[in-house]
Structure 1
């Protein structure tokens, strides 16, 4: 019999005639390796080509996926992915969450542009602005830029000059405690005022920040 001309249905039927080893999800690495060896030996005994082996493995994985991830579950995870935002997560945590949900939206996972856009759009406003203005080429580039932007915005405080506050008549309030800002050249600057909820616009994206007033 010409195995290369055998239809997929016949290949699957012959394959399923044997008592197939199964994985239940609680196995260790040794058990998984043994399972792969058993499957490989079965393929050898059936004299299946590499292409047929790949087709059957893909089929088995699809069945596994459908069994353990029903349609309702996949839809819920897809909806969760669509509304995913970084929020209080750091970039590493956001990337991990993004990756864990990505498998439930193959139409985005297989499209580099859509995947990159979805990732960027979910970033915090201040990080989104820095990443989006640099126009990353792909998902990995966007992820690396987001990590860099997170480091750039990681300062403990943001500052504004006293002259700017006076020029624009910005309301200020006393700080809960005096802040001393150390200069790289030595010495320090004392501040006792805070301007809250300053609106900054970067490429039509509005963010709000609190600024400590420095008497420069």
Structure 2
């Protein structure tokens, strides 16, 4: 004879809630829908012929792409949801596949609440690695005029200032960095 299995049966506790009580309790209302995206804004955005981003190339390409769509949003006065919708139209190839996968793999609440700032963070984390940003910050701190003309030195410094977040917040700090990197005979 096979051994008996210990099957434990528990009696569920009877509920004390009456039918009347369950009917009179208020049902929580669903969260408000996200703001609608104005289709006219999307058409105007696409009419500006913004560049596409394929996710290939150097981190500087991703930064340039993000910077190129920023003024279009400023001119159109887009809200956060419109920015996110418009910019995702401009993702192609590897970047489009990455974003589609990213939206599927992130928690539903996070995906539903994705903002423009969140999108920018995702793009920078994926396509502009922290190691690249640190390298550029180091380049900023170590940049000197050397054999460059003053104009070339100024342009080089301006192009990497965004990586030195503690140095680009005042004109005085930028001027001090500029002066400190000039050749000694010019600095005087």
What range describes the TM-score normalised by the shorter chain of this pair?
0.3 to 0.5
Structure with more of its chain in strand, by fraction:
1
TM-score by length of 1: 0.37
TM-score by length of 2: 0.42
Higher relative contact order (CA 8 A, sep 6+): 2
